[in-house]
Amino acid sequence: LSSEDICKIGKRALEKALDNPSIDILPIADGGEGTVDALVINTGGRYVNLGVTGPYEEKVNGKYGILGDEETAVIEMSNASGLALADRNYLDPLKSTSYGTGEMIRDAVNKGCRKFIIGIGGSATNDCGIGMLQALGFEFQDKDGNSVHGSGGSLGKIVKIEDKNVPKEVLESEYLVACDVDNPLTGPRGATMVYGPQKGAESNELKILEEGMVNFGKLIEDFFSKKIIEVPGAGAAGGMGAALYGFLNAELKSGFEIIKGVINIDKLIEDKNYDVMFTGEGQMDHQTLMGKLVLGISSLGKKYDIPVIAVCGSLNKGWEDMLDKGLTAAFGITNRPMHLGDALVNAEDLLYESYYNIGKILKI
Cβ 126 vs Cβ 92: under 8 Å: no
Residues 245 and 330 in one domain: no
In this structure, is residue 120 part of a structural domain?
Answer: yes
Q: Does residue 355 sit within a domain?
A: yes
- Among candidate residues 222, 255, 288, the one where a domain is terminated: 255
Q: 225 and 107: one domain?
A: yes
The reported pLDDT for the residue numbered 290 is 64
Q: Residue 181 falls within a domain, yes or no?
A: yes
Look at residue 177 and tell me if it is in a domain: yes
How many angstroms separate the CA atoms of 168 and 165, rounded? Answer: 9
- Calculate the average pLDDT of the chain: 93
Same domain, 116 and 192: yes
The model's pTM is 0.86
Q: What is the CATH number of the domain that holds 314?
A: 3.40.50.10350
Q: For residue 31, what pLDDT is reported?
A: 74
Q: 180 lies in a domain?
A: yes
Q: Are residues 110 and 142 in the same domain?
A: yes
Residues 218 and 163 in one domain: yes
> Residues near 4 by Cβ (< 8 Å), separated by ≥ 6?
25, 27, 37, 41
275: amino acid identity, one letter: D
Q: What is the number of structural domains in the chain? A: 2
40 and 136 share a domain? yes
Element at 208 (helix H, strand E) = helix 203-224
For 324-341, write each residue's pLDDT tens digit: 999 999 999 998 888 888
Domain containing 208 — which CATH number? 3.90.1510.10
* Domain annotation covers residue 41: yes
Q: Could you read off the pLDDT of 155-183 as tens digits, one per residue? A: 999 999 999 999 999 999 999 999 878 89
Same domain, 10 and 44: no
Give the integer Cα–Cα distance in Å for 348 and 148: 48
Q: Is 295 in the same domain as 148? A: no
Confidence at residue 326, expressed as pLDDT on a 0 to 100 scale: 94
**Domain extent for 15:** 3-24+274-363
- How many Å apart are CA 265 and CA 279, to the nearest integer? 13
- Residue 6 φ then ψ, to 5°: -60, -45
Q: What is the pLDDT along the chain (364 residues), one digit of tens a residue?
A: 888 899 999 999 999 999 999 999 998 887 777 889 989 999 999 999 999 999 999 999 999 999 999 999 999 999 999 999 998 888 999 999 999 999 999 999 999 999 999 999 889 999 999 999 999 999 999 999 999 999 999 999 999 999 999 999 999 999 999 987 889 999 999 999 999 998 999 999 999 999 999 999 999 999 999 999 999 999 999 999 999 999 999 999 988 889 889 989 999 999 999 999 999 988 888 777 666 788 989 999 999 999 999 999 989 888 999 999 999 999 999 988 888 889 889 999 999 999 999 999 998 8
245 and 291 in a single domain? The answer is no
Do 225 and 117 share a domain, yes or no?
A: yes
179 and 323 inside one domain: no
For residue 146, the 8-state DSSP code is P
Same-domain status, 47 and 14: no
Burial of 101 (0-12, 13-18, 19+ CB in 10 A): buried
